Amino acid sequence: MERNNIRYLARIVVETQTPLAVSSGEKNIETDAEIIKDVNGLPYIPATSIAGVVRHAMKESGKDNESKDWGFQITSKDGKGKGAGSRIIFTNANIVDEDGVVVDGIVEKKSDFLNHFDSLPIRQHARIDHKGVTVKGGKFDEEIVYKGTRFCFEMEYVNNADKKSYFDDLISTICPSSLRIGGGTRSGFGKLNIVCIKTKELNLENPEDLKKYIEKSSSLSDMSFWGDADDNKASGKTDDGIASYILTIEPDDFFLFGSGFGDDEADMTPISESFISWESGKGEFKDNAVLIPATSVKGAIAHRVAYHYNRLTGRFADKIQEDLEQFTGKNNLAVKCLFGSEGNPSAKEKDEKRAVRGNVMISDVIQAKSGQPDKLLNHVAIDRFTGGAMEGALFTEKVTDGRGCKYEIDITVDKKGVQQLFNNDKNKKDGEKIDNVYKALECALDDICSGLLPLGGGVNRGNGVFSGTRNNGVFIKLEEE
Q: How many CB atoms lie within 10 A of CB 63?
A: 16
The one-character DSSP state at 461 is G
Q: Please report, for residues 141, 178, 193, 405, the alpha-carbon distance to residue 197 in angstroms, rounded to integers and kept in the order given.
A: 34, 18, 11, 34
Measured CA to CA, the distance from residue 57 to residue 65 in angstroms comes to: 13
CB of 143 closer than 8 Å to CB of 122: yes
3-state secondary structure of 314: coil
Measured CA to CA, the distance from residue 334 to residue 347 in angstroms comes to: 19
Measured CA to CA, the distance from residue 360 to residue 444 in angstroms comes to: 13
Over residues 279-329, the pLDDT tens digits come to 999 999 999 999 999 999 999 999 999 999 999 988 887 777 667 777 777
Please name the helix (run of DSSP H) or strand (run of DSSP E) that holds residue 335, with its range, or none.
helix 333-339
First CA to last CA across the chain, in angstroms? 48
pLDDT at residue 416, as a whole number: 87
Over residues 17-52, the pLDDT tens digits come to 999 999 888 888 888 889 999 999 999 999 999 999
Measured CA to CA, the distance from residue 409 to residue 337 in angstroms comes to: 21
Contacts of 283 (CB under 8 A, 6+ apart): 96, 97, 98, 99, 100, 113, 148, 150, 276, 277
User: Could you tell me which of 234, 225, 165, 169 has the C-alpha nearest to residue 200?
Assistant: 225
Alpha helices in 346-453 (DSSP H): 350-353, 415-424, 434-449
List, in sequence order, every residue forming a beta bridge with 84; answer none if it has no partner: 72
Going by their DSSP bridges, the two strands 242-251 and 230-232 should be labelled as unpaired
* Whole-model pTM over 0.85: yes
Angle of helix 47-61 versus helix 164-174 axis, rounded to 10: 110
As a whole number of Å, the CA-based R_g of the chain is: 25
Measured CA to CA, the distance from residue 83 to residue 86 in angstroms comes to: 10
Angle of helix 434-449 versus helix 294-312 axis, rounded to 10: 130
> What is the residue extent of each domain of the chain?
6-232, 240-481
What sign has the CA pseudo-torsion 421, 424, 425, 431? positive
User: Could you tell me which of 242, 318, 302 has the C-alpha nearest to residue 61?
Assistant: 242
pLDDT at residue 174, as a whole number: 82
pLDDT at residue 125, as a whole number: 76
Alpha helices in 98-228 (DSSP H): 112-115, 164-174, 207-215
pLDDT at residue 139, as a whole number: 77
* Largest pairwise CA distance in the chain: 95
pLDDT at residue 480, as a whole number: 42
Residues of the chain predicted below pLDDT 50 = 1, 236, 475-481
Residue 60 burial (C-beta neighbours within 10 Å; 0-12, 13-18, 19+): middle
CB of 94 closer than 8 Å to CB of 264: no
3-state secondary structure of 283: coil
The one-character DSSP state at 191 is B
CB of 363 closer than 8 Å to CB of 246: no
